[in-house]
Amino acid sequence: MIFTPTIIRLHKWRVKNLSHRNFVLMLSLIVGLISGLAAVVLKNTVYYTHYFLTRGFSAEDGNLLYLAYPFLGMLFTVLFVRYFVKDNISHGVSRILYAISRKNSLLKPHNNYSSLVASTITVGFGGSVGLEAPIVLTGASIGSNLARIMRMDYRTITLMIGCGAAGAIAGIFKAPIAGVIFALEVLMLDLTMGSLIPLLIAAVTGATVSSFLMGKSVLFSFSVSDPFNLYNIPFYILLGVISGLVSLYFTRANMFVENQFRKISSFRLKLLYGGIALSLLIFFFPPLFGEGYEVLTDILNNRGDNIVNESLFYSLKNESWVFISFLVLVLFFKVIAMALTTAGGGVGGIFAPSLFMGGVTGFFTARLINTLGFVKLPESNFALAGMAGVMAAVMHAPLTAIFLIAEITGGYEFFIPLIITSTIAYLTINFYEPHSIYTKRLAMRGELITHDKDKAALARLSITRLIETNFLTIGPDATLGELVKVIARSERNVFPVTDEENNFLGVVFINEIRNIMFNHELYNNTYVRNLMFMPEPLVNISETMEDVAQKFGECAHYNLPVLDQGKYVGFVSRANVFSAYRNRVREASQD
């Protein structure tokens, strides 16, 4: 509150000196700058935490520490989240989609930093998750809260969420195009010139800040050395199918493990089971430690055999079939390790695990075919294509995957295989799973509206703001004569019937009594209780506007009564709902 006068003066200056469009462009620059800085801070803190904990590891004596670090990281994360943040901050992208769908794009201020701290602890100590979802949530929260402070409308706040996400992705990967496409494809922002330019500004700013502070290689950089061979197209199609099936396993295994943990009520037991199981998995399979980008770097630089280093299988690394079996086990347990990390209380995302799974899938496919001796495939190229394929399928975002990998490689020489593998993988999983891993739970709860513009417009409407209260009530024991007097004073043709405690008993429609309302002989011996009826359907004040719209669609009434625990509140009209809906659609589609 200490900054309120300053903010008010800034707001007045902005209204006087800047157009809305120019101010949005300025905001997008600021959001991209802060998101890029947040990405740099997160990557560096995790890197140095990881380096400090694992320096001196060797295949002989370092391995035992893998038993302790992941559990400690989850423990510290649970303590931080439970006793300091006191809010759920897991599944960052899903939380952004939920905020856009149900919270008018408003994210809580603690999201500006809480995911940064929690994911640093989780991943730095070896949690088998990624940093991208936490940093995306951080960037989105920065955009949401900054726009809210500047008194922006829903459409601008949503756009700033996209700018924060784009700036964060661009900062993490030094991939501005992928950042923009992520905001459009995953967050489902509308593609207009009014939204595209701010997204581009935020993404380029985030990537520039990251490149300036961290150099050219943000995570890993790789240049395709083996040219694309047209004769390998059938194998890229095969890789696309395999990547789609691996992604299906990725999604369903993750959901299964988390659902099992959700049945455990005690957070201490969740931490205990998840932490111990994760530590054991990482002990036997060290590639599961942390994000896994070191493993991907080795694979892309033709050092894929190093994946068995520091593991119990190190002595068998030269046995081809043992090595291939080891890759299968890594693929199988990576998803389990990721789900154990998040279900046990850790904080992280699926972005890096999907890249890891894709890289290992492509490497495994190429190594298997090479071992069989059919052809000689470039293993690093197939690893890249697999990364794009699994990411495209898991996230249901083929364009994001294609452009991200293309930008990581520093060029577009490899564009055709990326498109082939990503498209086939996406089509494969879409046959079984219509929703991405981000949207599946929201869709199951009926809370996914970012992908449905009609629902999005309805969800932003509040039933309390559409209730009309200028309907005159009447009691059930009133006579027809008394009812006619009420009709004479009313501007409406519907009359709710209530008792002395305001309990709703029914309605009287003027059209239903028009044939008797001028018959004076009936005025004193005809009562409202004989004229009223209970309309169907009724609306509860706690219902959503989607429910109200559905009820209007199922009946012919122009007005529906609104009740609060049986008490009469007012009426909601079909015309007002439709008018408010059109205004929301018009507001969202303005350019």
DSSP string for 353-405: HHHHHHHHHHHHHHHHHHHHTS----HHHHHHHHHHHHHHHHHT-HHHHHHHH
Would residue 259 count as lying in a domain?
yes
Predicted local distance difference test score (pLDDT) of residue 520: 83
Would residue 223 count as lying in a domain?
no
Which among 282, 139, 312, 130 is positioned nearest to 210, based on CA atoms?
139
Domain containing 102: what range? 4-214
537 contacts 565 by C-beta, under 8 angstroms: no
435: which 2 tokens? 């929703």
Which among 200, 204, 198, 206 is positioned nearest to 168, based on CA atoms?
206
> pLDDT digits over 32-88, tens only?
999 999 999 988 888 888 778 776 555 444 456 767 888 898 999 999 998 898 888
444 and 524 housed in the same domain = no
Instruction: Answer with the one of 403, 427, 452 that is the final residue of a domain.
Output: 452
Predicted local distance difference test score (pLDDT) of residue 89: 83
Rounded average pLDDT over 439-464? 62
Predicted local distance difference test score (pLDDT) of residue 58: 54
Would residue 475 count as lying in a domain?
yes
Torsions phi, psi for 503 (to 5 deg): -70, 135
State the Cα torsion 478-484-485-486 to the nearest 10°. 70
Would residue 221 count as lying in a domain?
no
DSSP string for residues in 177-242: HHHHHHHHHTS-----HHHHHHHHHHHHHHHHHHHHHH-S-SS------SPP-GGGHHHHHHHHHH
76 and 197 housed in the same domain = yes
97 contacts 187 by C-beta, under 8 angstroms: yes
419 and 463 housed in the same domain = no
518 and 581 housed in the same domain = yes
CATH code for position 540: 3.10.580.10
> Taking all residues of the chain, what is their mean pLDDT, rounded to a whole number?
84
CATH code for position 317: 1.10.3080.10
The one-letter amino acid at 446? G
What is the distance between the alpha carbons of residues 473 and 114, in angstroms, rounded to a whole number? 52
The region of weakest confidence among 89-98, 191-200, 304-313, 399-408 is: 304-313
300 and 389 housed in the same domain = yes
> pLDDT digits over 247-266, tens only?
999 999 999 998 899 888 88
272: which 2 tokens? 């205990």
What is the distance between the alpha carbons of residues 276 and 344, in angstroms, rounded to a whole number? 10
Predicted local distance difference test score (pLDDT) of residue 105: 82
Give the bridge partners for 533, in sequence order.
Answer: 507
Would residue 320 count as lying in a domain?
yes
Higher pLDDT, 463 or 59: 463
- For residue 93, CA distances in Å to 82, 234, 264, 349 come to 20, 34, 24, 8
What is the distance between the alpha carbons of residues 176 and 194, in angstroms, rounded to a whole number? 18
535 contacts 526 by C-beta, under 8 angstroms: no
- The fraction of the chain above a pLDDT of 90, given in percent, is 30
pLDDT over 50 at 2, yes or no? no
297 and 171 housed in the same domain = no
Instruction: Answer with the one of 428, 452, 476 that is the final residue of a domain.
Output: 452
Instruction: Answer with the one of 214, 243, 277 that is the final residue of a domain.
Output: 214
364 and 501 housed in the same domain = no
What is the distance between the alpha carbons of residues 76 and 426, in angstroms, rounded to a whole number? 37
pLDDT over 80 at 470, yes or no? yes
Rounded average pLDDT over 138-166? 90
Rounded average pLDDT over 383-395? 93
- For residue 236, CA distances in Å to 135, 239, 425 come to 32, 5, 10
Q: Where is 445: in which H helix or E strand?
A: none
What is the distance between the alpha carbons of residues 562 and 540, in angstroms, rounded to a whole number? 6
Ramachandran class of 151: left when φ > 0, alpha when ψ lies in -120 to 50, beta otherwise? left
211 contacts 218 by C-beta, under 8 angstroms: yes
pLDDT over 60 at 178, yes or no? yes
302 and 334 housed in the same domain = yes
Would residue 220 count as lying in a domain?
no
Predicted local distance difference test score (pLDDT) of residue 315: 64
> What pTM does this model have?
0.78
The one-letter amino acid at 322? V
406 and 481 housed in the same domain = no
pLDDT over 50 at 174, yes or no? yes
What is the distance between the alpha carbons of residues 561 and 555, in angstroms, rounded to a whole number? 13
Would residue 570 count as lying in a domain?
yes
423 and 470 housed in the same domain = no
Q: Is the peptide bond before 234 cis (omega within 30 degrees of 0)?
A: no
Confidence of residue 16 (pLDDT cuts 50, 70, 90): confident
CA 413 to chain CA mean position, Å:
31
Torsions phi, psi for 295 (to 5 deg): -65, -45
Torsion sign over Cα 424, 220, 274, 347: negative
Predicted local distance difference test score (pLDDT) of residue 453: 55
356 and 240 housed in the same domain = yes
Predicted local distance difference test score (pLDDT) of residue 31: 94
203 contacts 167 by C-beta, under 8 angstroms: yes
The region of weakest confidence among 338-342, 476-480, 573-577 is: 573-577
- For residue 485, CA distances in Å to 443, 473, 492, 517 come to 51, 12, 13, 10
Predicted local distance difference test score (pLDDT) of residue 252: 92
> pLDDT digits over 270-327, tens only?
999 998 999 889 888 888 888 888 888 888 888 878 887 766 766 666 678 888 888 9
Would residue 224 count as lying in a domain?
no
Q: How many CB atoms lie within 10 A of CB 359?
A: 28
Predicted local distance difference test score (pLDDT) of residue 448: 56
Rounded average pLDDT over 165-170? 93
57 and 135 housed in the same domain = yes
> pLDDT digits over 518-530, tens only?
888 888 888 888 8
Torsions phi, psi for 474 (to 5 deg): -150, 150
What is the distance between the alpha carbons of residues 340 and 73, in angstroms, rounded to a whole number? 13
> How many domains, the chain?
3
